[in-house]
Structure 1
């Protein structure tokens, strides 16, 4: 069984041993991958709680499904994809929870499908933002946190937080406009 350092991803031999079901290798793989997955989750998710939850979910998927990984060298991209999916899922769940419930109006199936497609399009555009802009945008606009709170949680001045938020909103508008068939501003 190969050793795992904190600064590098586990080697292909360890991944292959874990894929074949070797329990000590699986344990070593999970502990070796966790710091990398956690760093990625903190960069991608809007809150530290979401990041912790996404990293934990990724570790569970790794433990349960390591045997399904096709290539040992694809471990990093596979884990990042799992974390990205989990962070997006959590962001969508938050936005859905914050939507007011309409009592009398029932959307048609077509409206429902179009709304879901729009949510996916916006979520993908948010995910493509740089990490610093994405965190500010999600915390401020999706989760509805006050500006001072966002700045404090991210260790920024209020002015720096507002600047990042402005850049994030502008980039998001441009991305959505491009994908809507318009020209960027």
Structure 2
């Protein structure tokens, strides 16, 4: 099934050398994989589409900086993950700004951003399997059965990974100082 394989190494090498046709073919061939990554990591379908587009733009602009042709998938996954996390941080802030029309002090805003960054860093530090389950279940709000099915896991295995991910994030947040304040 061609949809499951990444573009061939020769195409990646030609794109790295600046061949316009190869770059175009590389972006087109990577698109289904990048979209699949984004759909599994982002909170909303809209964010997933935007993250996928952003990742493909970066691929188009920076393919020459990719050092190892075999690293294309992990490079694209990292770009998509970072974009999804960035969008999740923005989403977390939006409802507060809409619901609370009172003036927010600069100090409160800085503290919110620091806390959001701490949470995002704790999630990003999780092993990939735990991070994926946590994002799909807790950020995207998908049902446990749907998450388990999408990842090819039993519901109990999905719950176990989710529990480990939540516990690890909790421990990480407990062990790191809030906003750099001395505790």
Is the shorter-chain TM-score for this pair beyond 0.5, marking a shared fold? yes
C-alpha deviations, 1:53-89, integer Å up to 9, x for none?
A: 42233113322x136x434427625423321221112
Offset of residue 122 of structure 1: 0.6
Report the Cα offset of residue 29 of structure 1: 1.4
Unpaired runs of 5+ in structure 1? none
**SS in structure 2 at match of 1:27:** helix
Q: Which has the higher helix share?
A: 2
Cα deviation per residue 1:28-53 (whole Å; 9 max; x = unaligned)? 21133334434543554345664444
Equivalent pairs, count: 170
Task: Spell out, residue by residue over 1:98-157, the C-alpha distance to the aligned partner (whole angstroms, 9 max, x if none).
Answer: 4362233x23223222221221111111122234433443344445x3xxx512321277
Q: Does the 8 A contact of 2:41 with 2:135 survive in 1?
A: no
Distance change in 2, residues 1:14/1:136 (3 Å):
closer
Out of 62, 65, 77, the position equivalent to 1:66 is 62
CA shift for structure 1 position 6: 5.4
**1:20-169 pair list within 5 angstroms:** 21-46=18-43, 50-63=47-60, 65-66=61-62, 69-73=64-68, 76=72, 77-99=74-96, 101-104=99-102, 106-143=103-140, 145=141, 149-154=142-147, 155=149, 162-169=159-166
